[in-house]
Structure formats: structure tokens, C-alpha cells
């Protein structure tokens, strides 16, 4: 594991480090030569203007995209390639920018789906829904009910998620990610499209998850106020390049960041 | 006038005067309907989980039945042959995932649809190569399925019910109930529905698409085997059986491509409608309307509910 650079706000050891990652689609460079790390227990924000490569970065970490260059080290294991299944298995959970839920299923079933990898009863017991399969269902249901209580969505647990308002859908999606008991939780714009009250709720949940479960969180967010309040450290991307990395205060004062956001006279 | 009378009045008079014949016709219709439902169910399972309209479902029915009978002909005991056929259906599901679905992932639906055409002709050729093309008799007795008929005295006459039909209805109901519980209440069932709803979200919680595809094609294979046994016991086993796959189309139009209850209710409606049409209105047109009457029923439904009985309502945002 390489030494941790940067400001001394270490919360713990490095959980995930991204080294010199480049990703392009055809001729379009989405991410070029980006390195940063995420430490155990911290809330790490990834910010940047539109098209900066934030979501691409998340997709690389979670195995949806394979970077052409660079390495990713997660829990001390370095890999060039990873499939989404391996990422989920290793303890990386995520939410999506435009909510990707199982729309036809109830909130409860959606969150139960997050337990998929924790359940092991084989196909034939499942077909019968008896013996080990039934025991397992009950056991995992308890855990899921805890998450439902935690997110305060008891009254909507039987509602197909397609019918829920956007803010609640985002909460169910967070619940599904939490059900995986992740070590690293990736949130892609968890507050996008929310009103002030919903944003405050969601911010509280993010902080509570970090406190209560000790989950490391990496989040993409546009609302600067939210980012500055929530995160321990911030990495700033612009046009696929890293332009700053540090505490919220440092980043705020960084001239490159100000230029990227406000534009600069050429 | 006379024609109108024959179409709109006379058949109902006949129903009233000979209720036992009506009951008999309804029963025949329901039994045929159960089998249509099973075939449609195979289509729905695969369409729901992988978005592929599997043209080969009909031939999978024949292939499963043929394998079962063929193995028995080679001296394998009936129940062992059944177990081996189940294993063969699993291998088929596995091979389909590896050789067809995986290389074609993210291709347009029409490409996958065409690939299932290829699968159809492969299965026909492969089945003929191994088991021969001649018509075979289903080993219904050896599998312990009942034979003969029961005559019930009811509705002022006799209604004759084949025991095998009763068995078919019971087995089909059990299977549908089992699948419903499996889909609604277990981890793999949830994963299947999850994949049907959103691929990337399913991937993000660690569901493996490959595994789900194998499972769903295997489930469709089991449904095909059951259908093959039941249908084979009523007629016999030959490649001509695959025309029943065409019967699934009106059922799917009626029930919607994504709905399991739709497949069941649709199958029963088509079965009953077809038999009633044949018996009461058929003579008007010199009989033989059974083969196309199902499409007429489906067309009429389509006029009023384009999304099918239980299909998801298509809402266009503008």
C-alpha cells in the first residue's frame, strides 16, 4: 500500500486508492491520469462542473467501466480489471444519479434485493421456499426492517417504488445500498432534484450512516453548501483531470477550482 | 336475417337445451387452455428476465418431450429418463447463455430474436439427428399418469372427463403456484424480477446476469418439459407439435408479454373461446375454425386493450 499524501486529516488507513486512471470512449477522454485515495471512515466528495468525469470515475470504482490505464487498490488488493459483481462482493455499494430501482417491486423487496449476496440457500431449497431458504428469508428480513426504521420509511414498505415520489425513491435506493452492509458506499448525486427539506434529511442520513455503521462514503454532489458541510476531504475534477484535492476549506480557496467553476478570462 | 339468427340466437339456444354438451365443451376448452397457458408461461418467463422473445419455446417443448421418450426407447427407466431430461434442459439453458446470450449482450432485441430462430432450427435438426424424425408415443403410463375417463352425471346428461386431463390441470396449477411463490418470495425470484427491471441496478447489488439467465432458461425448460409430457399424452410426440407455439401468440397478445397471471388467464380464455367457437359457430363455416379462431379473439381484445389484459400500461410522456 502506498503512503498517503495530502493534508493531515487522516481518519484511518487507505481503503481505496485510484492511481493514474485513464478512461476514454473512442476518442473522448472521460478521465485522464487521475489519482486519489479514500480513507477508512471518511466522507469523501468528488466535485466538478458538468462533464468533469465524476460519474465515470464512480463507474470505474464500481466496475461498470474498465479503465484503459491505471490501477485501483481496494482493501490492499490491486486489480486492473473488476466486474460489478466482484465490486459488490468486495463490499462496494452504490446509488445512481437518476435513481435505478426495481420499479415493479415494493420498497421492501428492493431493499431485500440488496441482501442478495448475503443469502446462500441453494436453488432447490429456494424453489421449495422451505428449510434453509425460509430461515434465511426471516433472518435477513430482520436486518432489512432495521434499515427501514433507520431511514424512516416504514409506511411505504409495501408500495411499488415506481409510485413513490422522487425523494423517497432516493431513500429506498440508499436503503438497498445499505442492505449490502458495504465498506465503501458510493453516492452519485444523492441530493439532486430535491427540495431543501429533503436535502437536509438526506444529509442527515448520510452523516448517520457514516457515524452509526462506520461506513466509508464517497459522494458526488453539485450543491456546494452540502459538500462543504458533509465531507472530510474533497477531490475536484475538471474535464477529466484532477485539479485539486484537500479539505473543503483548502479546495474553496484553490484558484484552479474557482476558475473551473466561475470560468476564466482567456 | 337467417344468418343473423344462426350467429346470434341459435348457438345460445343450443347451449340452453343441452347443458351437458356445454359443460363438456367448456371442460375441453379449459384443458386445452391450461396447455396454452403453460406454453405462454415459458415465453413470459424468458421475456420478463432477459427481454428476449424466445421463438424457440415451442420447439423446446418438442425437444424436451422427444428427449424423454427417446431415452426411454433406449432402455432407460421412465423416472431416470425424466431426471436425465431435466439435466438435459439444464445443459441447454447453460449452453444458450454461453453461446447465444453472452456473445450477443447489448445487441438490439431483433438480433436476439433472430438468434432464437437459429436455436429453433438447431433444435429441430439436432433432435432429428439423435432421436429420429418419426412420431413417438408419450410414456404417460410409465410415468404414472392416469388413463381412462370418468363419466359424471350432471346437467341432465353425461360429461366425460379424461383422467389425464385432470392430472394435467392439477400439475399445471401446482407448477404455476410454485413459480408464483418462487418469484415473489425468494432471493432468486427477487433477483429475476430485479434483472427484468434494471440491469445496472441489479449488477450494483451483485446479481450476476449470467446466472439469472441460466436459471430463467432452465425454468422455461422445465415448463416446456411439463407441457411436452401433457400435450404428448393427449396426442403424440412429433415435430408437428411445435405449431402449438403459434397458439401461444394470441395468448400473449391477450395476456401481455410480461404478466404471468396474464398468460394463465389468456390461455384459458383462448382455450375456452376456441372450443366454444368450433362447436357452436364452426358448422356455419363448414368447421375447422379452431385453427384461426384464437386470432380473432385476440384481435378483438387488441382493439380495446392494446397492452393486453394484465400487461403494463404504456404511458408516453410528451
Q: Domain extents for chain A?
A: 1-91+182-266, 104-180
- Residues from chain B contacting residue A105 (CB–CB below 8 Å): 190, 193-194, 197
Output the pLDDT for position A11. 58
Q: pLDDT per residue over B81-121, tens digit each?
A: 999 999 999 999 999 989 988 888 777 888 888 999 999 99
- Model pLDDT, residue A234: 93
Helix (H) or strand (E) holding A188: strand A184-188
Instruction: Please state the rounded mean pLDDT for residues B161-172.
Output: 86
Task: Judge contact between B259 and B308, C-beta under 8 A.
Answer: yes
Give the span between the Cα atoms of B140 and B62, in whole angstroms: 15
Contact check, Cβ <8 Å, B201/A100: yes
Contacts of B188 in chain A (CB under 8 A): 123, 126
Q: What is the model's pLDDT at position B68?
A: 92
Per the model's pLDDT, the better-predicted residue between B170 and A131 turns out to be B170
Closest approach of chain A CAs to the CA of B215, in angstroms? 9
Q: Considering only CB atoms, which chain A residues are within 8 Å of B202?
A: 102, 113
Predicted TM-score of the model (pTM): 0.78
Nearest-CB residue to A62 (from B187, B204, B215): B204
Q: Does A103 touch chain B (CB under 8 A)?
A: yes
Output the pLDDT for position B311.
60
| Residue of A94, A102, A170 to mutate for B, most B C-beta atoms under 10 A | A102
Mean pLDDT of chain B: 84
CATH class, A1-91+182-266 region: alpha beta
Query: In DSSP terms, which residues pair with A36 in a beta bridge?
Result: A18
3 state DSSP class of A47:
strand
Question: Minimal CA–CA distance to B239: which of B95, B81, B66, B111?
Answer: B66
pLDDT interval class at B302 (50, 70, 90): confident
Nearest CA in chain A to B219: A127
* Residue B146 binned pLDDT confidence (cut-offs 50, 70, 90): confident
CA–CA separation, B125 vs B25, rounded Å? 37
Instruction: Look at B52-56, B137-141, B304-308 and tell me which has the smallest mean pLDDT.
Output: B304-308
Minimal CA–CA distance to A223: which of A251, A190, A201, A247?
A190
Residues of chain B in contact with residue A108, where contact means CB-CB under 8 angstroms, are none
- Do A127 and B178 lie within an 8 Å CB cutoff? yes
Note the pLDDT of residue A204.
Answer: 93
**Looking at residue B234, what is its pLDDT?**
80
**Alpha carbon B233 to chain centroid distance?**
15
Please report the pLDDT score of residue A173 as a whole number.
93
Q: Which strand ranges, in their side-by-side order, compose the sheet holding A43-47?
A: A92-94, A184-188, A216-220, A43-47, A233-238, A241-246
Q: CB–CB of A176 and B193 under 8 A?
A: no
SS3 A43: strand
pLDDT less than 50: residues of chain A:
1-10
Q: What CA–CA distance (Å, rounded) separates B184 from B263?
A: 17
Mean pLDDT, residues B270-287? 83
User: Looking at per-residue confidence, does A3 or B274 come out higher?
Assistant: B274
Which residues between 110 and 139 in chain A have a beta carbon less than 8 angstroms from any beta carbon of chain B?
112-117, 119, 121, 123, 126-127, 129, 133, 136-137
pLDDT top residue among B291 and A96: A96
Res. B287: pLDDT tops 80: no
Q: Which of A130-139, A161-170, B45-54, B237-246 has the highest mean pLDDT?
A: A161-170
Cell numbers 363419466 correspond to B151
Residue B107 is classified by DSSP as S
Indicate yes or no: CB of B197 within 8 angstroms of CB of A101.
yes
E strand intervals along chain A: 14-25, 28-39, 43-47, 69-74, 77-79, 92-94, 184-188, 216-220, 233-238, 241-246
How many cross-chain Cβ pairs, A to B, lie less than 8 Å apart? 92
pLDDT tens for A11-54 read 578 899 998 999 998 888 899 899 999 999 999 999 988 888 89
Residue B312's pLDDT is 60
Cβ-based contacts of A85 with chain B (< 8 Å): 203, 206-208
Give me the interface pTM, i.e. the ipTM: 0.80
Amino acid at each position: 500500500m502506498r503512503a498517503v499524501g495530502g493534508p493531515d486529516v487522516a481518519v484511518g488507513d487507505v481503503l481505496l486508492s485510484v492511481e493514474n486512471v485513464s478512461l476514454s470512449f473512442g476518442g473522448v477522454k472521460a478521465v485522464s491520469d487521475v489519482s486519489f485515495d479514500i480513507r477508512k471512515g471518511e466522507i469523501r466528495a468528488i466535485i466538478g462542473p458538468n462533464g468533469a468525469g465524476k460519474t465515470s470515475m464512480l463507474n470505474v470504482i464500481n466496475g461498470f467501466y474498465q479503465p484503459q490505464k491505471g490501477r485501483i487498490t481496494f482493501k490492499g488488493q490491486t486489480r486492473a480489471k473488476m466486474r460489478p459483481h466482484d465490486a459488490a462482493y468486495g463490499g462496494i455499494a452504490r446509488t445512481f444519479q437518476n435513481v435505478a430501482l426495481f420499479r415493479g417491486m415494493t420498497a421492501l423487496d428492493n431493499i431485500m434485493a440488496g441482501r442478495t449476496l448475503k443469502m446462500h440457500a441453494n436453488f432447490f431449497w429456494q424453489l421449495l421456499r422451505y428449510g434453509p431458504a425460509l430461515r434465511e428469508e426471516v433472518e435477513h428480513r430482520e436486518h432489512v426492517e432495521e434499515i427501514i426504521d433507520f431511514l424512516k420509511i416504514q409506511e411505504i414498505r409495501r408500495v411499488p417504488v415506481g409510485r413513490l415520489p422522487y425523494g423517497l425513491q432516493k431513500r429506498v435506493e440508499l436503503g438497498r445500498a445499505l442492505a449490502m452492509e458495504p465498506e465503501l458506499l458510493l453516492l452519485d448525486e444523492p441530493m439532486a432534484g430535491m427540495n431543501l427539506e429533503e436535502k437536509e434529511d438526506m444529509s442527515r442520513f448520510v452523516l448517520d450512516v457514516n457515524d452509526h455503521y462506520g461506513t466509508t462514503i464517497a459522494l458526488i454532489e453539485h450543491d456546494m453548501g452540502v459538500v462543504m458541510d458533509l465531507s472530510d476531504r474533497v477531490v475536484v475534477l475538471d474535464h477529466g483531470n484532477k485539479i485539486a484535492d484537500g479539505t473543503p476549506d483548502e479546495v474553496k480557496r484553490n484558484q484552479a477550482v474557482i476558475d473551473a467553476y466561475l470560468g476564466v478570462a482567456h | 336475417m337467417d344468418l343473423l339468427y344462426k350467429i346470434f340466437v341459435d348457438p345460445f339456444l343450443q347451449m340452453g337445451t343441452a347443458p351437458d354438451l356445454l359443460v363438456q365443451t367448456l371442460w375441453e376448452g379449459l384443458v386445452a387452455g391450461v396447455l396454452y397457458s403453460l406454453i405462454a408461461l415459458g415465453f413470459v418467463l424468458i421475456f420478463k428476465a432477459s427481454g428476449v422473445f424466445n421463438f424457440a419455446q415451442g420447439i423446446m417443448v418438442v425437444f424436451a418431450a422427444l428427449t424423454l421418450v427417446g431415452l426411454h426407447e433406449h432402455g432407460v427407466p421412465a423416472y431416470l429418463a425424466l431426471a436425465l431430461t431435466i439435466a438435459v434442459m439444464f445443459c441447454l439453458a447453460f449452453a444458450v447463455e454461453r453461446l447465444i446470450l453472452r456473445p450477443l449482450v447489448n445487441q438490439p432485441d431483433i438480433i436476439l430474436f433472430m438468434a432464437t430462430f437459429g436455436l429453433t432450427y438447431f433444435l429441430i435438426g439436432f433432435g432429428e439427428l439423435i432421436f429420429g424424425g418419426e412420431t413417438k408415443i408419450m410414456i404417460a403410463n410409465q410415468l404414472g399418469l392416469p388413463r381412462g375417463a370418468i363419466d359424471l352425471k350432471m346437467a341432465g346428461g353425461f360429461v366425460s372427463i379424461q383422467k389425464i386431463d385432470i392430472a394435467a390441470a392439477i400439475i399445471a396449477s401446482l407448477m404455476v403456484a410454485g413459480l408464483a411463490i418462487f418469484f415473489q418470495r425468494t432471493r432468486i425470484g427477487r433477483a429475476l424480477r430485479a434483472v427484468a427491471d434494471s440491469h445496472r441496478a441489479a449488477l450494483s447489488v451483485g446479481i450476476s446476469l449470467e446466472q439469472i439467465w441460466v436459471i430463467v432458461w432452465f425454468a422455461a425448460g422445465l415448463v416446456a418439459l411439463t407441457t411436452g409430457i401433457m400435450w404428448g399424452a393427449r396426442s403424440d410426440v412429433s415435430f408437428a407439435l411445435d405449431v402449438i407455439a403459434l397458439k401461444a401468440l394470441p395468448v400473449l397478445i391477450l395476456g401481455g408479454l410480461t404478466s404471468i397471471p396474464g398468460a394463465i388467464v389468456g390461455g384459458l380464455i383462448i382455450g375456452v373461446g376456441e372450443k366454444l367457437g368450433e362447436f357452436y359457430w364452426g358448422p356455419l363455416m363448414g368447421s375447422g375454425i379452431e385453427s384461426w379462431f384464437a386470432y380473432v379473439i385476440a384481435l378483438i381484445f387488441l382493439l380495446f386493450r392494446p397492452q393486453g389484459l394484465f400487461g403494463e400500461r404504456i404511458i408516453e410522456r410528451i
